[in-house]
Amino acid sequence: MMQTTIGRRGALLGAAAAVSTFAIGGRAFAQTAPVVFGALPPLTGAGGPYGPAMLRAMQGVVEAANSAGGIKGRQIRLAFEDDQTNPDAGVRGARKLIDVDRVQALMGTWASSVTTAVAPLCWENRVPLFTVSGADSITLLPHQGHIFRTQPNSRLQIETATKWLLGKGARRVFHMAAQSPFAQSSQDVMTEVMRAGGGAVSGYVVYERDKTAFRSEVDTIMRSRSDTVMLNGYLPDVTILLRELYRAGFDGRRFTFAYAAPASVFGTLPNEVTNGLTTFQPSPDLNSPAFTRLKAAFGSTEVDPYSAQVHDHATMAILAAAQGGDATGTVIRDNVRKICQGDGEKVDNVTDGLRLIAAGRAVNFEGASGPCEFDERGDIRGTKFRYEVAEGGAYRVLELV
Amino acid sequence: MIQDWRDLAQVLLNGVMAGSVLMLPAIGFNCIFAVLRYPNFAIAGFATTGAFAGWVANAVYGWPVGLALPLAFLVAGLVALLAEEAAFRPLRPAGPLTVAIASVAMTLLIENILRFSFGNDLRGYDLPILRDWRFDGIRINPQQLQNTGYAIVAAGGLFLLLGFSRLGRAMRAVADNPVLADIKGVDPNRIARVAVFIGGGLAGCGGMLVGIDTSIDPLTGFRVVLSVFAAAVVGGLGSIPGAALGAMVVGVGEEMAGLVLSPAYRTVTAFLAILLVLMFRPQGILGGRN
Amino acid sequence: MDAYLIAMLVFAGFYALMALGLNVIWGLTGMVNLGLVGFFALGAYASALLTTKLFWPMPLGWAAGAVVAAAAGAIMALIVARLRGDYLAIVTLGFAEVIRLTASNEIWLTNGTDGISGIPGPWRGDVSPPEFNLIYLGIVWTAVAVVFVLLARLSHSPFGRVLRAIREDEDVAAVAGKPVLWFKVRAFTIGAAVLGGAGALYAHYNAYIAPDGFAPLLTIYIVLALTAGGVGAMRGAIIGALFVIALLESTRFLSAIIPGVSPVQKAALREGAIALSLILLLRFRPQGLIPEKTRTKATP
């Protein structure tokens, strides 16, 4: 019995501690009353290789905006939670950000499952959600304009990429896809486009992402006598596949999404393996000063596509709030399209954008991930794609179309 | 899919290569099980530890694989020993399942200690990547062959130790009958420590071999661990030759997955192998006692 | 803040149901189930599919979720119940992974990794989101109460005593003339039914399920809940679930105020703290916060 009472007291103390930490969080909010935005990147789990850089990119934008005076003089705070690449943890994290931190916008969700799980919380609470998730179904949700997706939908991406490959002479493309929400839709689009262009999808394998050996899968690629292989996966598995393809002596074109082989791949694979790897990603205009300035802003680290996109998420949310004159979710939602499409002056960073808006000028934000123009569903449109080839441990831009 | 015997031979060969990577952690798992009679799920954490220890030696300090591998053994063995003494030993009286559950938590703890120290970035060993050799259309990779060699040497070392040394005889005695061994003057606690050190060390070597063949992050051990358990069960819990054989069965089975089901179901084949074995030979292929 | 606390209490309800289900299997009967998230997923998918595709009413969907999970539990128990506990641990671990992979790959049925969205919830849309939360809080904790009462009675019935006897010493129970296998299968089935029912309720609260959500981490949380509360005691399962949610959520606020560590390191500290607390609890308070009263020795 004695032990029981101690146990209960311990539990009560624990609960009290928990409550008091809640209280601290609440008070801090009340005193300074900054505008709060929420970030929900994956810091653990399968998205772990991507989340930390994404968070840094968002924090960078917020810092820049704060040194530029914030939103109408109000400082900005970026609250973040780890979604653990798991919709269950993601929902609890989003609850905390929305209900406790009272965030006015949520950004940087990565896994499609997490985005779909937290989306209803966002539109119920009138919080716009900026995401990099790839599943086409996300923008089909009844979100009343609250979702902005900077990752082009798979139809647009795969159609563009397949046409580009056809133009480069690809006739037999092997589709190697990690099991994901867009594996099958990618396959459908690829088959259609290849057939129309006089080629064929020479093989289609869906593999398990969390595995460490893919030799038999690579044998299937080798047997298919393909001139191109499309690696539709993520960094850990694509790294292994590139290594296996090199070992097997695959001499065709290796083509993948830039997020599956960001510049960090040069640190894990020797150059002879990566040389010739072609990647593509949505991109801003290369000749604009914006792009060079952006690269400089990111310093020596190459900008990976997800970081570029969340950089734009944070910038758009801040500029939209400034434009609307009020940092509430609804105002941000209604003003995103005003600051990133139209005839306004082109800006590529939050500092210039805030200055111009303060001066009463119209702006048209063109971000690190592209022109950031959204259709009525919240999907990105009219973006160009940048094709790059790996050479000697760095990417060289092939073209932008 | 299969067009001639070469394709089948290729799949079998791929399976053996994949299995040889699973072999060491599976042997480590069974080594601990044989003496301590609980499934140590922290083997995944020990494998990741070994992978990182080997990586630091190789990629940071430039050690060759031949030197880094013993270091991976040593570090993972010591971590396993520490985990055993600090966390698992006091739980042993509460029964094997309590220890098993603590070992699940230990894997999560080790994963996050490594994440705290190294971050999530993928890291590759500093080794050139060699092209496959081809024999009559069948391809084999010299590096993977070398890894298989390392695995066989490590496993062979354990067999020699168990078969021909005093320590090995004592270990087998404790595994067979701890009470009798105690009467005969073998200190079961000392033997337990040796078994845990060797088991953890072998898992660490296995983790490093996975790392050489792929790249490493805090989830490295987690990615192979289900296959490792399958190998241990298929071979027979507690049987060391069983673990080696089970690893080959699971390795080949997973590579065959693409032919039978779909490559997306690799892990499912490992699980089916477990179920089949348990239904027809519950003690495992080479397991004697149950 | 209120909305957040209510939502977390709803989650605690799901965790409490799962811990109760696990308690029948592990706490009473002494069989380990490291694949409980697989049964939870089965219940969630069964109910989500039946209500969205065949338009079954929700209560029927919830019942179906429990039945499907129970059937899977019965089959699994028949195959593995005669094996030693360590085999069971591995097989159940693999089972959960198989469920997750099947849900990811059988797109025709489960919509694959895209998951199933738009799962109906009671009066969702007719009431405001905070009201919906309150309604669900009532539903979940009513379910917890009902299951608790039923299981507590079961636990003190002759059936429950046999289960405990099996847990303490299977051979003795067999010698006493009890059909051990049959009792084990029944216990496993009951536990799986509760897990499946919890999954069904969860699906209709979240409105969305996907294979990613049924990761092994959830199993660890529930095992932690039961260990913290006290293995064997039904009240312990509920206290433990509340404890786990408090731990999961308070570490958010605690890690936010730790200076000098990067966000990844904070995330690592959070997950590490969960693991460490499970190890420490097993070590220093194996009987949990609410020890089982009828228990003869403090071994789970």
User: What are the residue boundaries of the structural domains of chain B, listed by start?
Assistant: 5-120+139-280
pLDDT at B3: 66
Whole-angstrom CA distances from C215 to A125, A241, B98 are: 28, 25, 21
What residues have CB less than 8 Å from A74, skipping those under 6 apart?
A33, A34, A35, A327
For chain B, the DSSP string reads: ---SHHHHHHHHHHHHHHHHHHHHHHHHHHHHHHHH-S--TTHHHHHHHHHHHHHIIIIIT---HHHHHHHHHHHHHHHHHHHIIIIIGGGGGG-HHHHHHHHHHHHHHHHHHHHHHH-S--B--S---PPPEEETTEEE-HHHHHHHHHHHHHHHHHHHHHHHSHHHHHHHHHHH-HHHHHHTT--HHHHHHHHHHHHHHHHHHHHHHHHHHS-B-TTHHHHHHHHHHHHHHHH-TT-HHHHHHHHHHHHHHHHHHHHHS-GGGHHHHHHHHHHHHHHH-TT-SS----
Q: Give the whole-angstrom CA distance, residue B235 versus residue A39.
A: 47
- Which pLDDT band, with edges at 50, 70 and 90, does B221 fall under? very high
Assess whether pLDDT exceeds 80 at residue A173.
yes
Q: Each residue of C139-162: pLDDT tens digit?
A: 999 999 999 999 999 999 999 999
Query: Is residue C230 assigned to a domain?
Result: no
| B7: contact with A, CB 8 A cutoff | yes
- Which pLDDT band, with edges at 50, 70 and 90, does B288 fall under? low
What residues have CB less than 8 Å from A193, skipping those under 6 apart?
A158, A159, A162, A163, A166
pLDDT at C79: 83
Q: Which residues of B touch C84 (CB under 8 A)?
A: 290
Cβ distance of B123 and A267 shorter than 8 Å: yes
- Which pLDDT band, with edges at 50, 70 and 90, does A220 fall under? very high
Interface test with B, best of C98, C105, C280, C287 (most B CBs within 10 A): C98
Assess whether pLDDT exceeds 60 at residue A10.
no
pLDDT at A294: 66
Q: At what angle do helices C36-53 and C2-22 cross, to 10 degrees?
A: 120
User: B211 to chain C nearest CA, in Å?
Assistant: 21
Name the CATH topology of B5-120+139-280.
ABC transporter involved in vitamin B12 uptake, BtuC (1.10.3470)
Assess whether pLDDT exceeds 90 at residue A79.
yes
Q: Which residues of A touch C2 (CB under 8 A)?
A: 99
What does the pLDDT average to over C45-71? 97
DSSP-assigned beta bridge partners for residue C144: none
- Which pLDDT band, with edges at 50, 70 and 90, does A11 fall under? very low
Assess whether pLDDT exceeds 50 at residue A19.
no
- Which pLDDT band, with edges at 50, 70 and 90, does C86 fall under? confident
Assess whether pLDDT exceeds 90 at residue B247.
yes
Supply C182's token pair.
């049959």
* Strand A278-283 versus strand A345-347 pairing type: unpaired
pLDDT at A78: 97
pLDDT at C22: 96
What residues have CB less than 8 Å from C63, skipping those under 6 apart?
C197
Question: ipTM score here?
Answer: 0.94
Highest mean pLDDT among A293-297, B3-7, C17-21: C17-21
Query: Of the given ranges (A291-300, C17-26, C113-122), which has the lowest mean pLDDT?
Result: A291-300
Q: Which residues of A touch C292 (CB under 8 A)?
A: none
What does the pLDDT average to over A315-336? 95
Of A43, A179, A212, the CB nearest to B264: A179
- Which pLDDT band, with edges at 50, 70 and 90, does B256 fall under? confident
Q: Give the whole-angstrom CA distance, residue A103 versus residue A80.
A: 10
Query: Is residue C250 assigned to a domain?
Result: no
Cβ distance of A18 and C249 shorter than 8 Å: yes
Q: Each residue of A333-389: pLDDT tens digit?
A: 999 999 998 889 989 889 999 999 999 999 999 888 888 999 999 999 888 899 999
Query: Which of A286, A272, A258 has the alpha carbon at shortest distance from A132?
Result: A258
Q: Which chains touch B (3 or more CB pairs under 8 A)?
A: A, C
Q: Give the whole-angstrom CA distance, residue B194 versus residue A364.
A: 68
Query: Is residue C54 assigned to a domain?
Result: yes
pLDDT at A4: 40
Query: Of the given ranges (A325-334, B92-101, B195-204, C65-74), which has the lowest mean pLDDT?
Result: B92-101
Assess whether pLDDT exceeds 60 at residue A51.
yes
What does the pLDDT average to over A48-52? 94
DSSP-assigned beta bridge partners for residue A399: A387
pLDDT at A29: 41
For A133-161, the DSSP string reads: ---GGGGGS--TT-EEE-SPPHHHHHHHH
User: C240 to chain B nearest CA, in Å?
Assistant: 16
Query: Of the given ranges (A249-263, C49-63, C75-89, C117-131), which has the lowest mean pLDDT?
Result: C75-89
Q: Each residue of B164-181: pLDDT tens digit?
A: 999 999 988 888 888 888
What does the pLDDT average to over A103-127? 96
Cβ distance of C94 and B229 shorter than 8 Å: yes
| A49: contact with C, CB 8 A cutoff | no
Cβ distance of B129 and A49 shorter than 8 Å: no
pLDDT at C207: 94
Put simply, the chain C residues between 256 and 275 with a CB less than 8 A from any chain A CB are 256-257, 262-264, 266-268, 270-271
User: A232 to chain C nearest CA, in Å?
Assistant: 15
Assess whether pLDDT exceeds 70 at residue A12.
no
- Which pLDDT band, with edges at 50, 70 and 90, does A146 fall under? very high
Query: Of the given ranges (A319-323, A345-349, C21-25, C36-40), which has the lowest mean pLDDT?
Result: A345-349
Q: Give the whole-angstrom CA distance, residue B231 versus residue B39.
A: 13
Q: What's the mean pLDDT when you consider all of chain A?
A: 89
| C220: contact with A, CB 8 A cutoff | no
Q: What's the mean pLDDT when you consider all of chain B?
A: 92
Query: Of the given ranges (B115-124, C173-182, C187-196, C197-206), which has the lowest mean pLDDT?
Result: C173-182
What does the pLDDT average to over C281-296? 77
Highest mean pLDDT among A37-46, B6-15, C72-81, C117-126: A37-46
pLDDT at A300: 64
Cβ distance of B115 and A44 shorter than 8 Å: yes
**Nearest residue of C to residue A87, measured between CA atoms:** C213
Whole-angstrom CA distances from C232 to A392, C31, C87, C173, C238 are: 62, 12, 21, 18, 12
Domain count, chain C: 1
User: A257 to chain B nearest CA, in Å?
Assistant: 17
Q: Which residues of C touch B265 (CB under 8 A)?
A: 101, 105
pLDDT at C125: 85
Of C113, C239, C257, the CB nearest to A113: C113
Domain that holds residue C30: 2-215
Assess whether pLDDT exceeds 50 at residue A18.
no
Q: Each residue of A278-320: pLDDT tens digit?
A: 999 998 877 666 667 667 766 666 788 999 999 999 999 999 9
Query: Is residue C79 assigned to a domain?
Result: yes
Query: Which of A129, A134, A57 has the alpha carbon at shortest distance from A317?
Result: A129
pLDDT at A289: 66
Query: Is residue C9 assigned to a domain?
Result: yes
Query: Of the given ranges (A118-122, A126-130, C169-173, C219-223), which has the lowest mean pLDDT?
Result: C169-173
CB B218 within 8 A of CB B111: yes
